[in-house]
Amino acid sequence: MNVVITSEVVQAYSLCPRKAYLLMYGKERGMPHEYEQILRRHQFANQAKNLELLKQKHTDVYPYSVSNLEKGYEFLIDVTLAADNLQAYCSILARVNNLSYELTIFIGTHTINNTDKLSLMFASYVLTKIQGKSPAVGHIVNMKGESRRLKLEESHKVLTPLLDPLQKWLNDSSPPEEPSVILNKHCSICQFREQCKAKAIQEDNLSLLDKVTPKIVRQYEKKGIFTVKQLSYLFRPRKRKKRAKKSPPVSHDLKLQALAIRTGKIYLQEIPTLARQETELYLDIEGLPDLNLYYLIGLLVRQGENIEYHPFWADDIEDERKIWWDFLGIINQYPDAPIYHYGSYDLRAMKILDKRYETDNQALIDRLINVNKQIYGKIYFPVYSNKLKEIANFVGATWTATDASGIQSLVWRHYWNDSYESQYKSKLITYNQEDCCALNLLVDELERIKSSSDILSDIDFAQTPKSQLSEAGEKISSQFEMILRFANVKYEKKKISFSQGQLIEGHKRGGANPSRPAPKPNKIVQVPQVDTCLKCGSSPLRLMETSTTRTIIDLVLTKNGIKKVVTKYIGFHGYCIKCHRKCSPPKILEFEDRQFYGHKFKSWIVYQRISLRLPFESILELAKEQFKEEMSSSRITHFVRNLAKYYSETEQSIIKRLLDSPSVHVDETNFTIEGVNWYVWVFTNGKYVIFKLTETRETDIVHQILEKYEGVLISDFYTGYDSVPCKQQKCWVHLIRNLNKELRENPFDMEYEGFILEVRSWLTDKSG
């Protein structure tokens, strides 16, 4: 199969890599959305009209071919450019000089978007490969016949990140791996929308949640979270800060949204604050963004039990002023009534219309109440997004048209513009009215939540969940809580006291300088000379009169604290007669050249860094204050590396002890180093412990260490451990915590409560 990269593929990759893959390698092409088909028809009509005008004005117009391109005709039309597995289409090539052409494309809208620009850039890129020179500019002609001139010199910066992975797909010997499903805004009009939506639901894909981007998906996948259900278990109530001066900004919690979907409950971060009135207005506006036209303003007036709907319809832009004034005439009859709407679109439309027709109705705009602000980050319904359709459908709203949506309303309006058939106008007015009724129903639901949230079983508080356990369930839960408390090991903190020593005479400050004079020693140690030549093994060696020394600053532990000691080691050289080599005493050779600090001093520095997690500046300040030692921060890094090498054998010995033990516990957690996520792994048998650091949550390190382990691996419920080829047991603490949580979330499930009683009895027997 000859696979090529077309303009459609490049546009698709910019929106969704999976769509580009399906266009190139998929067996089914899918059915384009009606809206896409309408825009394509408009594009062809726009192109045909302008090409006919071009033929009337110029005689030198020819269909595109490579030979006609080489002949240098002034205009070439219906251009399909092909080079190096790339294929692009443009409407017109216009010769600007004897050497090169410029491109023109036509679009089916009145405004130009990024995909239109990308299509022109890609056609320019392919043309450059054909004619050997990049066109400086290109032209995009909209439905009004207006031509926009676009500079193309920097287009490679936009195209390269898109073309490089596509070219890699083509260069691979086998078809590339199918990209995972990531639902986004473009899905509503994509021809593969049904296929991807079904796959996402089957996988319980994280992108089913609104506002989940590929970056967010990758972040959770690094933590081993791949589904909405798994994400729901990450939610934990926040601990309220004692000295919080003000409330944190409102944000949407994806974990809580996932929890609501899993449990089917409504979760509250804050209780709604809507103040209901006898008379209320519900607003919904429909428009054509491409034409900047608001053609339908729907107003639902509710007075007690009486509900009246007012639609204001505009055939075209000239009617827009009239419906705006008619709308104001009705709405001003209720000067004190709140005006409910959903989302920012209606507010933006009101401001534009108010400014466009100079009505100066700021007081009217101030009466608008965005119901979405009462929900976003505060109320979590068990649905995938905060869109009005999803939430209102959950609370009981229905629509006559099964495909009712914002994008479908654009389709109906385009059909009405083309045919003026009343059925499309009727569909739009019905759709608008049902949106207003859905908003009314949603406001009623918020009132129900506000007044009865503390007693309704389908509503819970996110930070302080209700306790609805039976007496037996409450008893089990309290016992589990006690087990969890005793499962945490308390480590005794050991304190170190410091004695203020006197500054050693002759000790020059600025310890970072390796050429500084050696400090005055507290004691001098004579070391024995070497007996055998370290190079040739000759023995005995002749004693020389020349000596060698090392002065080492170290620490010693005393009964009351730690004391600094400066020791000077002195030894005489030995001379090998056979190889004429001068040999230093072995004790001197234990120290590095120009070494100033001993093992205990290094250990103290590393302890401050690793165990106490002090920053470099604090460690340097402590060393100066307690021991009158000044050094650079690079010394600390050197000490850490030195001790890591020193204890490598110890680590291998601990690993051997772990592998010999009947059971090994393993766990992992992530943390951030300078903005980069890392994972630290802990392996222990209760007596010996090692830690390992990795960049990802992949369990390669577990396989590496436990490759030949024959005991029992004890871990949490992270699925990565399941592939380790040894006997396995899940951590009881994690099991108890999960059981306890499920018990609280299902207080009326007597069968489950009986199961928990059996589990408790079994655990009691095992632990007793």
Long-range contacts of 348-352 (CB under 8 A, 24+ apart): 349/285, 349/287, 349/294, 350/285, 352/294
Which tokens sit at 176?
């590339």
CA distances from 455 to 107, 269, 458, 619 (A): 57, 16, 9, 56
171 vs 492, which has greater pLDDT?
A: 171
8 A C-beta contact, residue 691 and residue 666: no
pLDDT tens, 131-141? 888 898 999 99
Respond yes or no on whether the N-terminal peptide bond of residue 338 is cis (omega within 30° of 0).
no
What is the length of the chain?
Answer: 768
Which residues have C-beta within 8 Å of that of residue 391, sequence separation ≥ 6? Answer: 375, 381, 383, 442
**Res 741 pLDDT > 60:** yes
Average pLDDT (464-488) is 72
Distances (CA, A) of 291 to 144, 329, 413, 453, 645: 10, 25, 12, 45, 70
Rg (CA), the chain: 38
* pLDDT score at 1: 56
Mean pLDDT of 68-72: 86
> Is pLDDT at 501 greater than 50 in this prediction?
no
Q: Which residue has the higher pLDDT, 538 or 33?
A: 33
Confidence of residue 544 (pLDDT cuts 50, 70, 90): confident
Q: Which amino acid is at 514?
A: P
492: pLDDT confidence band, cut at 50, 70 and 90?
Answer: very low
Report residue 593's pLDDT band, with 50, 70 and 90 as the boundaries: low
| Confidence (pLDDT) at 164 | 93
Q: What is the mean pLDDT of residues 47-53?
A: 93
Using the Cα atoms of residue 537, residue 541, residue 544 and residue 548 in order, give the sign of their dihedral.
positive
315 pLDDT above the threshold of 50: yes
pLDDT at 245: 54
**Residues 563-589: tens digit of each pLDDT:** 888 888 888 777 787 787 777 777 777
Beta bridge partners of 63: 77
Q: Percent of the chain, pLDDT > 90?
A: 48
Q: Please state the three-class secondary structure of 660-721 as a single string.
A: HCCEEEEEEEEEEECCEEEEEEEEECCCCEEEEEECCCCCHHHHHHCCCCCCEEEECCCHHH
| Dihedral angle, C-alpha 90, 95, 97, 98, nearest 10 ° | 100
Arithmetic mean of pLDDT, 98-103: 83
pLDDT grade, residue 414 (50/70/90)?
very high
The pLDDT value recorded for residue 373 is: 93
Exposure string for 591-606, b = 16+ CB within 10 A, e = fewer: eeeeebbbebbbbbbb
In the prediction, which pLDDT does 494 show?
A: 41
Of 354-368, 397-411, 603-617, where does mean pLDDT reach its minimum?
603-617
Q: What is the pLDDT of residue 766?
A: 65
Distance from chain centroid for Cα 600: 44
Distances from the Cα of 473 to the Cαs of 1, 233, 487, 732, 745, in angstroms?
Answer: 64, 21, 21, 19, 11
* pLDDT value at 247 more than 70: no
Q: Note the helical H segments in 211-331.
A: 214-222, 228-232, 254-263, 317-331
Quote the pLDDT of residue 503.
38
Please state whether 694 falls in left (phi above 0), alpha (psi between -120 and 50) or beta.
beta
Which 3 state secondary structure label does DSSP give 105?
A: strand
Q: Which residue has the tokens 């009337």?
A: 56
Q: Which residue has the higher pLDDT, 121 or 28?
A: 121
pLDDT at 27 over 70: yes
pLDDT band at 44 (very low <50, low <70, confident <90, very high): very high
Where do the domains of the chain lie? 5-171, 279-461, 523-632, 647-730
The answer to whether residues 77 and 63 touch, using CB atoms and an 8 Å cutoff, is: yes
Q: Beta partners for 621?
A: none
| Per-residue pLDDT band at 241 (split at 50, 70, 90) | low
Q: Hey, is 157 helix, strand or coil? A: helix
Question: What does the alpha-carbon distance between residue 63 and residue 79 come to, in Å, rounded to a whole number?
Answer: 7
Instruction: Please say if the pLDDT value at position 483 is more than 80.
Output: no
The architecture of the domain spanning 5-171 is Alpha-Beta Complex (3.90)
Q: What is the pLDDT of residue 512?
A: 43
CATH class in words for 279-461: alpha beta
106 vs 138, 143, 158, 290, 701, CA distance in Å? 11, 8, 21, 15, 56
The whole-number average pLDDT for the span 2-20 is: 92
The residue behind tokens 């859905």 is 438
Q: How many other C-beta atoms can be found within 10 angstroms of the C-beta atom of residue 644?
A: 11
Contact 432, 283 (CB under 8 A): no
Instruction: Identify any residues that bridge with 563 across adjacent strands, giving them in sequence order.
Output: 556
DSSP secondary structure of 721-751: GGGSSSEEEE-HHHHHHHHHHHHHH-TT-HH
> Looking at the predicted structure, is the pLDDT value of residue 254 above 50?
yes
Contacts of 608 (CB under 8 A, 6+ apart): 614, 618, 619, 622
Q: How many helices (H) and strands (E) does the chain have?
A: 26, 24
3-state secondary structure of 451: helix
What pLDDT is stored for residue 427 in this prediction? 95
Average pLDDT over residues 288-315: 94
Cα(751)–Cα(768) distance, rounded to whole angstroms? 26
pTM of this prediction? 0.64
Q: What is the mean pLDDT of the chain?
A: 86
Rounded Cα distance, 179 and 12, in Å: 13
- Residues 408-420 have a mean pLDDT of 94
Q: How confident is the model at residue 303 (pLDDT cuts 50, 70, 90)?
A: very high
- The pLDDT, as a whole number, for residue 469 is 65
Per-residue pLDDT at 486: 67
Provide the token pair at 128: 């450059």
How far is Cα 320 from Cα 656, in angstroms, rounded to an integer?
82
Both tokens assigned to 372:
């979405």
Could you give the 3-state DSSP secondary structure of residue 199?
A: helix
**Matching fold, domains 279-461 and 647-730:** yes
Lowest mean pLDDT: which of 207-221, 507-521, 617-631, 703-717? Answer: 507-521
- Mean pLDDT calculated for residue range 229-243: 77
Low-confidence winner among 116-120, 260-264, 313-317, 509-513 (lowest mean pLDDT): 509-513
In CATH, the number for domain 647-730 is: 3.30.420.10
Averaged pLDDT, 585-604: 78
Q: Provide mean pLDDT across the span 661-674.
A: 87
